[in-house]
Amino acid sequence: MSNSTSLVPRKLPSPLTNTLRTSVSSALLSNPSSIPTIQRTFSSALQISGWTERLNARVLELLRSGECLTYEEVMDRILEESRSEDLVDSKSGKLEVPTKAVEEGIKVVRGELERAGVKVEEED
């Protein structure tokens, strides 16, 4: 890690209750364009941040080095590396999902829920 100014603390969100998860899913599925809109926005944010390039490079590295031999091994390793709760060095090329991409994803999900008539409250 190069310096403390590039470190971003990561806070994992609280898990959704089953009732809330069902309500959110129903609201998003009620409009056929909601899921593709969310997918496009999040994918674009990941590409802009360089995350998809880092992902491709890391997958190739794992396979070429022999650290992972199967699809399942690659997926397990990538998920483990992308879910780190530690401080994130934004210049290191690690696979934590960039904060900006997460924020864009949250913004578009909230917008789609509001379009479906779901009141969305801000978290403190």
pLDDT at 16: 73
Q: Residue 109: which region, alpha, beta or left (left: phi > 0; alpha: psi -120 to 50)?
A: alpha
Q: Which residues are CB-neighbours of 89 under 8 A, at least 6 positions away?
A: 1, 2, 6, 7
Q: How confident is the model at residue 42 (pLDDT cuts 50, 70, 90)?
A: very high
* Residue 75 counted as domain residue: yes
* Residue 105 counted as domain residue: yes
* Domain housing 82: 49-118
Residue 116 or residue 65, greater confidence: 65
* Residue 109 counted as domain residue: yes
**What's the structural domain count of the chain?**
1
What pTM, to 2 d.p., does this model score? 0.69
Residue 121: strand, helix, or coil: coil
> How many Å apart are CA 91 and CA 5, to the nearest integer?
11
* Residue 3 counted as domain residue: no
* Residue 36 counted as domain residue: no
pLDDT tens for 69-109 read 999 999 998 888 877 655 444 445 577 888 899 999 999 99
* Residue 17 counted as domain residue: no
* Residue 104 counted as domain residue: yes
> How many Å apart are CA 66 and CA 53, to the nearest integer?
20
* Residue 73 counted as domain residue: yes
> How many Å apart are CA 123 and CA 65, to the nearest integer?
43
Give the torsion sign (CA, 41, 47, 49, 55): positive
DSSP state of 6: G
